C-alpha cells in the first residue's frame, strides 16, 4: 500500500487503487446519511392528507401550494372523503 524511500512515503499502485475505491465508498455513505437525515427532518417522504371535497379549494389549496414549493422532496397525497 505504501512505499518508503529517502524522500518520504508514497502510495503504491495498490494503495492508489484502494484510496480511489475507499473515497467512492465514503462519499456514498455520506450521501446515505444526508438522505436519511433529510427524511427524518421531513424534507423527503410522503404526506398523506384526508380532506373533505368542499375544502379542496381556497385556503387549503393555497396552503398546499406553498408547502409543495417549500418542500419539493415531499410527495403530497390527498385522500378525498365525505362528511
Is the CA virtual torsion 46, 50, 56, 59 positive or negative?
negative
Q: Where are the alpha helices (DSSP H) in 2-83?
A: 13-40, 59-70
Q: Output the CA torsion 37→48→61→69 (10° steps).
A: 20
pLDDT of amino acid 46 = 82
Encode pLDDT of 12-49 as tens digits. 999 999 888 888 888 888 888 887 777 777 777 788 88
Is the per-residue pLDDT at 81 higher than 80?
Answer: no
Is the CA virtual torsion 42, 47, 51, 57 positive or negative?
positive
Cβ neighbourhood burial of 34 (10 Å; 0-12, 13-18, 19+): exposed
Amino acid at each position: 500500500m505504501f512505499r518508503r524511500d529517502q524522500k518520504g512515503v508514497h502510495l503504491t499502485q495498490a494503495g492508489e487503487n484502494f484510496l480511489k475505491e475507499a473515497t467512492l465508498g465514503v462519499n456514498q455513505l455520506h450521501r446515505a446519511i444526508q438522505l436519511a437525515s433529510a427524511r427524518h427532518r421531513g424534507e423527503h417522504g410522503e404526506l398523506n392528507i384526508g380532506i373533505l371535497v368542499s375544502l379542496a379549494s381556497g385556503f387549503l389549496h393555497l396552503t398546499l401550494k406553498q408547502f409543495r414549493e417549500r418542500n419539493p422532496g415531499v410527495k403530497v397525497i390527498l385522500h378525498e372523503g365525505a362528511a
